[in-house]
Each structure stands twice: as structure tokens, then as C-alpha cells.
Amino acid sequence: MTNLYIKGTTKTPEIDFKPGILQISGRSIAEDAVAFYQPVIKWIEDYLKKPEPLTRLNLKMEYINSGSNRFIFTIMRMLDEAYSQGHNVVINWYFEEDDDTIKNLGRDFQALVKAPFKMVEII
């Protein structure tokens, strides 16, 4: 399985996926979220055919618009399904201590998945 790396821009997050560690960080306000996230979703589909013993999703978002929320949740749902099938999955949601918007969004996502979901405050 090859790694997936997409350099972040002012409108799209950095994607740094290696088997076992999937990291999405930055801002996600892509004008065409479908086109941006399509290869990301495809990589995860391929990865989940034979995942590592532990898969960790690290989300370090500064801002996410509603169009991107859908894809972030799709990624979480895919990993949550793998967790339901017996795979070890951990989702880490990072947020700045004074960023209630990202913190609350993380809590909303946390309520929607069964996989271990850790809220990680950045001080």
C-alpha cells in the first residue's frame, strides 16, 4: 500500500496517510469538496481491505465548512464500520483550547461513532 500525501493550501487540508496513521490537518473549505476528497476516500477504501493492526485517524482541523464536514464524517463512518467489524481504530480530534467551534464539532462527531474517539486539547 502506497502512502497518500496531498499538500495543504489555504482552502484544502494537508492529507498525510500512511498505513496505520491517517492525518488530516488545516483548513477544509474546498470549492469542489467532491473532487478533493474523492482520492482520499478511494485510498481509505483500498486500505481497509487489509488494514494495519491499529488504525489511527488524527484530525487537526483549523476550520471546516459544511461541504467538507460531509466528507470528514464519511471518513469517520468508514473507519467506524471497520471498528464494528473487529479492527482496532482510534480517532483523535485535536482542538485549540479556545476554539469552541472545532471542539463542539468534534463532540458532535464523537456522538455519531462507536469507535474510540479522543478529544485532544492543544494548549
**Mean model confidence pLDDT for the chain:** 97
Grade residue 122 by pLDDT with cuts at 50, 70 and 90: very high
If one counts the domains in the chain, the total is 1
Beta-carbon contacts of 82 under 8 Å, excluding residues fewer than 6 positions away, are 48, 51, 55, 89
Kindly tell me if the per-residue pLDDT of 123 is higher than 90.
no
Structure confidence at residue 1 (pLDDT): 86
What is the domain-level CATH number for residue 23?
Answer: 3.30.750
- Is residue 43 within 8 Å of 74, Cβ to Cβ? no
Longest dimension (CA), the chain: 39
Structural domain range at position 66: 4-122
Share of the chain above pLDDT 70, in %: 100
For 53-63, write each residue's pLDDT tens digit.
999 999 999 99
For 81-105, write each residue's pLDDT tens digit.
999 999 999 999 999 999 999 999 9
For 28-42, write each residue's pLDDT tens digit.
999 899 999 999 999
Burial (Cβ within 10 Å: 0-12, 13-18, ≥19) of residue 106: buried
Structure confidence at residue 72 (pLDDT): 97
Q: How far is residue 53 from each of residues 21, 24, 35, 88, measured CA to CA in Å?
A: 11, 20, 30, 6
CA distance 45 to 9: 24
- The whole-model pTM stands at 0.95
* Helix or strand holding residue 39 (H, E): helix 33-47
- The three-state secondary structure class of 1 is coil
Kindly tell me if the per-residue pLDDT of 119 is higher than 90.
yes
CA distance 3 to 19: 7
Placement of cell 482552502 in the chain: 11
